[in-house]
Structure 1
Amino acid sequence: MKTQADLAEKLLEVIEEKDRRIAELEQQLQWFMSQIRLAKHKQFGVSSEKTDCAQLSIFNEAESNGDMTIPEPKITEVKAHYRKRTRLN
């Protein structure tokens, strides 16, 4: 009779240990899933760098300060050329 009680007690201990291990693994899984979600958001999420419309006027500085009386250079058109066909042996 004592052996059955000992066996039942050992089985209960094994079950409790398995339950603790399952809970620990589930917690680890949740942590890893949150890390993946964070990494995806960091890589593909909305960027925090926003451009202001006033900042874009900085790049027009050369046009606004440049001398507009200088004529633009004339564009000469280059005649197209073609490659010779190669022979296939």
Structure 2
Amino acid sequence: MQLGFAMLCVDSVRAKNTMNIMLTNVLDAVTGSMFYYLFGFAYGSPFNGFIGRHYFALGSIPSSSYDYNNFFYQWAFAIAVAGITSSSIAERT
């Protein structure tokens, strides 16, 4: 998804700004991944209370055979939202 949004964003800007937009998309993906790993899964888990009590940086996972599909599914949409937001303001700020 991230690559698709990057290509859409590059298509909507002038050629001279292509490299800046691609760098912005890469940085959005990297920082989004890092912060989702550290805080996002703990805040987004519905069984964690209002703000979250555990699963910060995937700590306190219930077992060693934990299924990470839910984590990766939510992570993909979290960084896609960051890509959509940054591409919507491309060449406007």
TM over 0.5: no
TM-score, L = length of structure 1: 0.30
Could you say which structure has the greater relative contact order, defined with CA pairs below 8 angstroms and 6 or more residues apart?
2
TM-score, L = length of structure 2: 0.29
